[in-house]
Chain A
Amino acid sequence: MKKIGGLLLSVALAASMFAGCSSSNDGSVGKTSDKPSNSNDANKQVTIKVLSSDDFAGFREKAIKEFEQENPNIHVNLEHVAYDQLHDKELASFNASDNAAYDVVDVDEIWTTEYAKAGFIIPVTDRYTDEMKKGILPASLNIVTYNGGYYGIPMFNDALFFYYNEDMLKKAGYDHPPKTWTEFTEMSNKLQQEKITQGPASAWGWSANEGLVCYYTQFLGSFGGKYLDNNGAPVLNNEKGIQALQYMSDAIKQGIVDKASISMNDRQILDAFKNGKTAFVSGWSFYWGEINADDSKVKGQAKVGLVPVADGAEPNTVTGSMFLGITPQSKQPDAAWKFIEFLASKKIQKEQSLDAGALPIWKDLYDDQELNKNHGAFKEMGAQLEHAMSRPQIDNYNEFSKDLQIRIQQVLTGQADAKSALNESADVLKKLEQNK
């Protein structure tokens, strides 16, 4: 009898453990799988989970409150992470189910091909209205397009802008931002020598992250180079590309830019600028909102200028817009679309510009009087956007980028010369293109 008792007990224990696991699973599956039928019913509550980069998180939280007031039956659960962690977290979530999966994800323009090709986000071409197709800037629509279909709605129109502290430049006797990189070097030296800035006049986000590739692209563009020629062959290793990288490496070696740049990201250099430690910073449009926020020490002192150029080149910068897409795991794509559409609406886009500094996706908002009057850098940012290029669009983009980051850093730390580093990077790019 004793024997049977013990046996029963242990079996029961084991069984209860399994039951414990599986019942909780069943529960959540049941809950979520009920939702599609409920989502047609306007009175039932649905929750959509959104994963977003934290660049515009403050504004998005506000916008969500507005959205929930207008749509009391949809609850939005926003999670945001630093941009540098976004891709990794999304990749992990795409194979997750139930509560670990997201309905809406924030996608960088360089991931469009990768995500769309792998089916991580679903096409939403059918949901686009004619107004959207005609009213949104073609450049913005371009970032959500893969194989002729749309995979989400762009949320802003972004690029690396060149910010400068006008007050500091005036103190040094300059009435204009640097037009060329030579002038940038001169001004940086003077600002530092006259102790207008505590250290070097600028810091850059050159740590081993996507930001480094963006900054390199900005230099590449403003030195007159590009990644691929018209036939799609890599040309980043031509004379102009080498000059661009050489300039970056010299700038760090000669102390024109902060030597800590190589271990900083785009948040840290914004903090340095906001606290009045640097006079120049190159960054995204959300910097504008941050620089003019109440906690900024340089509120009202900063302006946006065109990116400096090497002789004879155009002031080209790199684009870096993002969009929201819907995952196939979503059980309530209608509600998710409603939310994305809301954030992309003209009303919210205008608020986003006034509030956080982003540039809108709608063509006609650029003529909006209120925006032109109240957004201090609207015209300048618009002018910069006319000179913008994108990073290479290949579906192995991340592999190329990781490799390029290491090679650029090897040059910046003096372990390799610009020419051979870029030659190898061009080889990698060629190989990855062929693997398509």
Chain B
Amino acid sequence: MQKKIRPYLYLLPSYFVILSVILLPLLFALFISFIDLSKNIRKLDHPNLWHFVGLDNYWTVLTSDYFWSALGKTIYFTVVSVGLEFIIGLAIALILNEKFKGRGLVRGIMLIPWAFPTIVNAVLWKWLYDANYGTVTGLLAKLGFTDGYVNLLGHSFSAMNAVIAADVWKNTPFIALILLAALQSIPGHVYEAAKVDGADAFRRLFAITLPMLRPAIMVALVVRTMEAFKVFDIIYIMTSGGPAGGTQTLSFYTYQSSMMLGNFSSGAAIAFVMSIFIAVFALIYIKILYKDVE
């Protein structure tokens, strides 16, 4: 009996911590998404002013054009950035798995972008994109891709892709790192056997490497998809959601609704709708992951 209770007792402190710093704020946010706090967060201190509006906040959110436009932009950001990060990350991992001189050094250098805080990365890229002095802007102009210096952050579509490029630069090493670790655990004799059987390099990649990497790929994709869906800081620094709302993702919209317009209720409602999308993603991924393990 005591053996059964004791583990739980030891875990009690951490339960308290989780309850107080995660679960309670979460329930509190859920609660304010059902009352009307528009214009005045002070109402929270006066229970008689709590005005329950049921699903009104959610309805307002779901019928707003800004929400659907933000959702579309978030999905675009997520798909493009995670897709590119995965392809480039996989290529880097495959290269770094080969034996060559100075491999250790290259593996170390590869991680540098990932070690940057997002804010530093965002400010860095903002300067690279500067319309008059930016390195990237200048390079594009000199190579003839653009007609002279252009303001990459000055148009909705190019601004979104510019932000994606900055995000890919930072997060690709993370995927490369996970895949590289998994690659190193594939025993070499499998490849030797395949070579003996006459499988060429492409065949070996698709028949051996990728299937054996699947669990690692899943982990990397799950983590990155969740993060990309919640993207906020890089956008806040680089474009503040602009120009013309072209980079306004769901997280930024949530922030704008709560912190700029002071409507914490609709902010909470957007955040919960967003969590539903993330939960669906997570469910799909977990389904695929567990199938793999079985």
A3 to B241, CA, bound (A): 57
**Interchain CB contact under 8 A, B243 and A263:** yes
Chain A residues with CB under 8 A of B260: 87-88, 91, 398, 402
B243: which of A18, A208, A399 is its contact (CB, 8 Å)?
A208
Chain A residues with CB under 8 A of B240: 207-209
A94 within 8 A of partner (CB): yes
0/1 per residue, A375-409, Cβ < 8 Å to B?
00000000000000000000110110010011101
Chain B residues with CB under 8 A of A11: 9, 12
0/1 per residue, A35-78, Cβ < 8 Å to B?
00000000000000000000000000000000000000000000
A312 within 8 A of partner (CB): no
**Interchain CB contact under 8 A, B154 and A14:** no
**Interchain CB contact under 8 A, A263 and B42:** no
Selecting from A113-121, A175-183, A366-374, the interface stretch reads A113-121
Number of interface residues of B (CB under 8 A): 37
Query: How many residue pairs, one in A and one in B, have C-beta atoms under 8 Å apart?
Result: 111
**Interchain CB contact under 8 A, B242 and A208:** yes
**Interchain CB contact under 8 A, A3 and B130:** no
A259 within 8 A of partner (CB): yes
0/1 per residue, A1-18, Cβ < 8 Å to B?
001001100110110011
0/1 per residue, A257-298, Cβ < 8 Å to B?
011101100000000000000000000000000000000000
Chain A residues with CB under 8 A of B154: 259-260, 262-263, 413
Number of interface residues of A (CB under 8 A): 43
A281 to B9, CA, bound (A): 67
Name the residue among B150, B259, B261 with the largest chain A CB count within 10 angstroms. B261
Chain B residues with CB under 8 A of A263: 131, 151, 153-154, 239, 242-243
B41 within 8 A of partner (CB): yes
A3: which of B6, B13, B16, B155 is its contact (CB, 8 Å)?
B6
Chain A residues with CB under 8 A of B17: 17
The minimal Cβ–Cβ distance linking A96 to chain B, given in whole angstroms, is: 10
A58 to B223, CA, bound (A): 44
A145 within 8 A of partner (CB): no
- Ordered by A's residue number, 14 sampled pairs between the chains whose C-beta atoms are within 8 Å are A7-B9, A10-B13, A13-B12, A95-B41, A208-B241, A259-B131, A259-B150, A259-B151, A262-B153, A263-B242, A398-B262, A406-B242, A412-B243, A415-B244
